[in-house]
Structure 1
Amino acid sequence: MNQLYEKESTAFFTKTDGNISSPAGFFAGGLHCGIKRKRPDLGWLYSAVPAQAAAVYTTNQFQAAPIQITKESIMESGKLSGIIVNSGNANSFTGNEGLRHARLMREWFAAQIGVNESLIGVASTGVIGELLPVEKIETGIRRIEKEGTSHPDLFEKAILTTDTFQKRACVTLEIDGKTVTVAGCAKGSGMIHPNMATMLAFITTDAKVEAAALQNLLKQTVDETFNMITVDGDTSTNDMVVVMANGLAGNDTLSYAHPDWKKFAESFAYIARELAKQIARDGEGATKLVEVCVTGAETEKEAQTVAKTVIGSNLVKAAVFGADANWGRIINAIGYSGVQVDEQTLSIRIGGIPVVEKGMPASYSEDEAHAYLKENDKICIAIDLGAGTCQGTAWGCDLTYDYVKINATYRS
């Protein structure tokens, strides 16, 4: 997959204004059940037929109860028919009672849509360490209509916490003469860091995909997209990315041997990449999306490491917020990334403005650099290590006064 995402090709697919229920046979919705004061806080997603499922979970050692239950379901058959999601309460660090509550959510939703409970996944996001108000959730689940109705906008709203906007992406492509749709939505704003964070992402497709190929594709794609974003360096207990492929498009089974595999993989990667960038752009208190593109590395891993280290530097993030082209902070982050870099081959550009050339300060206009940082809501930092042909891209945001304000009052 192409790592210089700002040069991405869309030759394989067509971007649309669709949503999580655009692929054939998927339904979604949301409602307010009383976990939050007013906003939707219970969402559901399901397929008319059991779908091949794959998932990637947070690396935090304290994995929340919903993750454990979703793992159980997917491990049993490799398929899911639906996912029930609540926001406002993470059901994390809640012991055996939390596990019981997650299982009840699975049981109730399975009964409501008429499937075996092993075909249901569970997700939660919100405050850690508080028991779920399960009576309210049960009442909410009983209000879910089964087939024929879909309200994806309400699903997108129901999964949000401190997010300021809904996040979605959708594409169509042709495989075996059939129109295939791939779509996704996500939530995430704070506690975002590479190796997953307090984010949930759901991807649906009506393509028919081999189980092993789907899981491998998801893992590779997450490594190149969701694991390449950071907001604040915190990794949460509840993150997961789940993909469901129900096969209703009618294509032949996709695998690495299929002639259209590359088309599907590129389309899938686009969805994940767009959602990842939207999460980074919506960092708590953020005013700018920051993209760090590293080229000239000896290995892809080294390029990704440098990109993630620079995007995660609080000093770099603060400088972007202050429109200060302080490239010394970028140098500093590269220096502690753990990647061996020859400073004599290192070059850096901020928005196309060269600030370092072959290890030496470049001659540039401070006013021009300041204007670029101040006037644009997407800031691009290009780093050429001058050592090889590998590359990597990471996304983040600036660090603002509002980040502290939001997190200082999160529970009040």
Structure 2
Amino acid sequence: MREVEGSVTAPLGYQAAGVFCNIKRLGTGKGSDRGPKPDLALIVSDRPALVAGMFTTNQVVAAPVKVCREVVRRGVARAVVANSGNANACTGPQGLADARTMARVAAEVLGIRPQEVLVASTGRIGVPLPMENVEAGIREAARALGRGAPFGAMAAQAIMTSDTRPKEVAYEWTVGGRTYRLGGIAKGAGMIHPRMSPTGRRPAPLPRHATMLAFLTTDASVERRWLQAALTGAVAASFNCITVDGDMSTNDTVLLLANGAAGNDPWTVRSRGFRQFESALHRACLELARMIVRDGEGVHRVVTVRVFGARNARDADAAARAVANSPLVKTSWHGGDPNWGRIMDALGYSTAQVVETKVDIGYAAPGSKDVLWCVKRGRPTSVPFEELCRAVAPTEFELHIRLNLGRGRAVMYAADLTEAYVDFNKGDVTNPASLGG
């Protein structure tokens, strides 16, 4: 497997575009000082594609998510139209009508059915879409469609809100002498703590699996049930394991299109090709997810929280999330303070079973098995404070937690909490363009 250029346009049979239509009207949105940037993206498959999706489990659901869920239930799509600068959330019946209009207009200009168009939005909540601008943007994007890296890059830029850089990946691999590709784009910097499910309904308990959006394309052919299963698993190990600020969005969406343009017979779970496809999908989702954390609003340090030895997987997940979302822990990361007491506190109030005298806590470089333990069996070790400070000084490091109660394990990709995050998100009511989503 090797990395290639082109993101969503890398696989055969896909075109993309990104255009500026001033959806926010007052400008290009908070966090952008780059002049008019694209704010409407269009991704189109030359042929009908099977589609899988994962959606926010927030009880307040944006209109485009509702439209997308309908398309995914039908199982076939041809296009994705997505805008930034406006979430189209909490906009009532008009918001749902506007989301359907986006699908209808895209279908008209592309010569396809509205039921084959997926819709996504990101931006400020509670503001009606400027539909005149949106419709003009869709028509312009259809005229601007093209293949190759520049077109995928424009689509990646168009879905950005407070992101400082686009997020793109694409991979290529060979099975039986035939080449396959998978590519994706994503956005997200704030309001990041996705917990998505295939239907948007909340399982009990919730699965380990500004809004985050991700759109993935492949030219492989995969049986529909296994396409959804592969995406569910990939999201569980990637997007559903990240947090910037602990806030779940109303709009979180991941979509995967598989158009079969590579010409293979549809893969099933037992196929060698499916295993390689699944590997590429997991790799793409994880890379995009980690890009989101690194580009989080005000983020200075990125911390991988690894929990081992929990009573079960659910406990491990609960422990990891409690630590990763603790404001006190996150601020200590920002200050370079190896404050294990705050970590122990977060573990204790999590829903996981924790026995104080069995907990080990330590720090490591990314990917290293050499852990510097600051706590063993609930008590501080003799490692000097200065040495612990050096361990947490890099912009990326790992936090290892052993509960020593079982075999459950979990991982979270988390960010620190900085003054810059607070300054960015408090806004200025005298300057509407400064207000976030």
Q: Please tell me the TM-score bracket, short chain as reference.
A: over 0.9
Amino acid at match of 1:220: G
CA contact (8 A) 1:298 1:390 kept: yes
Q: Count matched residues.
A: 398
Q: Is 1:26–2:39 an aligned residue pair?
A: no
Residue aligned with 1:203, SS: strand
Which residue is equivalent to 1:4?
A: none
Which residue is equivalent to 1:8?
A: none
CA contact (8 A) 1:355 1:362 kept: yes
Residue aligned with 2:222, SS: coil
Which residue is equivalent to 1:163?
A: 163
Cα deviation code 1:70-119 (max 9, x no counterpart)? 1222223x011010011001111111111111111101111111111111
Unaligned runs of 5+ in 2: 28-35, 197-209, 365-370, 428-433
Q: CA deviation at 1:148?
A: 4.5
Q: CA deviation at 1:411?
A: 1.6
Residue aligned with 1:49, SS: strand
CA contact (8 A) 2:42 2:79 kept: yes
1:202-217 counterparts in 2 under 5 A? 202-217=215-230
Q: Is 1:145–2:132 an aligned residue pair?
A: no
Q: Is 1:154–2:172 an aligned residue pair?
A: no
Residue aligned with 2:405, SS: coil
CA contact (8 A) 1:176 1:252 kept: no
Which residue is equivalent to 2:435?
A: 411
CA contact (8 A) 1:35 1:87 kept: yes
Cα deviation code 1:166-211 (max 9, x no counterpart)? 1122222223432111111111111111415711111111110111
Q: Is 1:360–2:373 an aligned residue pair?
A: no
Q: 1:391 aligns with which of 394, 404, 409?
A: 409
The TM-score, its normalising length taken from structure 2, stands at 0.87
Which residue is equivalent to 1:9?
A: none
CA contact (8 A) 1:289 1:379 kept: yes
Q: CA deviation at 1:301?
A: 2.4
Q: CA deviation at 1:302?
A: 2.2
Amino acid at match of 2:398: C
Distance in 2 separating the partners of 1:186 and 1:393:
21
CA contact (8 A) 1:229 1:308 kept: no
Distance in 2 separating the partners of 1:345 and 1:175:
47
Which residue is equivalent to 1:39?
A: 37
Which residue is equivalent to 1:262?
A: 275
Q: CA deviation at 1:17?
A: 4.2
Cα deviation code 1:219-251 (max 9, x no counterpart)? 222222111111112111111111101111222
Which residue is equivalent to 1:75?
A: 73
Residue aligned with 2:392, SS: helix
Distance in 2 separating the partners of 1:285 and 1:294:
26
The TM-score, its normalising length taken from structure 1, stands at 0.92
Q: 2:100 aligns with which of 74, 98, 103?
A: 103
RMSD: 1.7
Amino acid at match of 2:137: G
Which residue is equivalent to 2:348?
A: 335
CA contact (8 A) 2:4 2:170 kept: yes
Cα deviation code 1:339-370 (max 9, x no counterpart)? 11233332111223210112221111211222
Distance in 1 separating the partners of 2:225 and 2:118:
19
Unaligned runs of 5+ in 1: 1-12
CA contact (8 A) 1:18 1:183 kept: yes
Distance in 1 separating the partners of 2:146 and 2:85:
28
* Residues 119, 272 of structure 1: alpha-carbon distance in 2 compared, 3 angstrom cutoff: same
Which residue is equivalent to 2:260?
A: 247
Which residue is equivalent to 2:48?
A: 50
* Residues 280, 140 of structure 1: alpha-carbon distance in 2 compared, 3 angstrom cutoff: same
What's the % identity of the aligned pairs?
40
Distance in 2 separating the partners of 1:304 and 1:138:
43
Which residue is equivalent to 2:325?
A: 312
